[in-house]
Structure 1
């Protein structure tokens, strides 16, 4: 699916980003659907299973969707379903993968990543022999 093809279809369904402030005494039932779109992934969740199923079938009639099982990992965020059906979002796996990639899994943590009495010089060191890996890790943070 191409995002430029998806956007007009999204609006044809009447889906808009709306910010509302409702008075607490309001008796209207508000149904919420969250649609997260990445390059080739879509996550649909919300307050109504029937609304989610309707939206999914509408999208599937226009685009070729593949439904997978439960959500475990998306864009560097690990999704854990708790016993009370709430979701815990964490980046622990993402950070563990970065530490493993840089061979830092056995390193000890410190309260501040910068030495407090470090003397800086114009001459660099060979601390990062692979600048590509360094740039990737810094960009990933």
Structure 2
């Protein structure tokens, strides 16, 4: 991904008090992007803005489009599943964070919640498989 694109995303994040952190994930973060790949961005909002996340997401999309970035897939982490949060933080491609944001703690919590979720998911998958095999 071009530095100019990252700089635009960081500039938009800095100008929004609602944004706590911005992560890049997906094919761009893994250096597996093709020419047609979109840019997967995950935004963590300040806790007191979570209820307005839909409105804020639209506002951020509008700012990104004005900046010439129309191939963005934007996710609000506050509303994301444990699996998606894990997918975002495992790449550990933090583009921007507020000074008071503890990224390591957030990432650790996201991973632990996913591992808890994964345990129950595997357990339920096994029970489902047994029911199918046993008729």
* TM-score bracket, shorter-length normalisation: 0.3 to 0.5
Report the structure number with the largest CA radius of gyration: 1
- TM-score w.r.t. length of structure 2: 0.36
With normalisation by structure 1, the TM-score equals: 0.35
Q: Which has the higher helix share?
A: 2
Q: Higher relative CO (CA 8 A, sep ≥ 6), structure 1 or 2?
A: 2
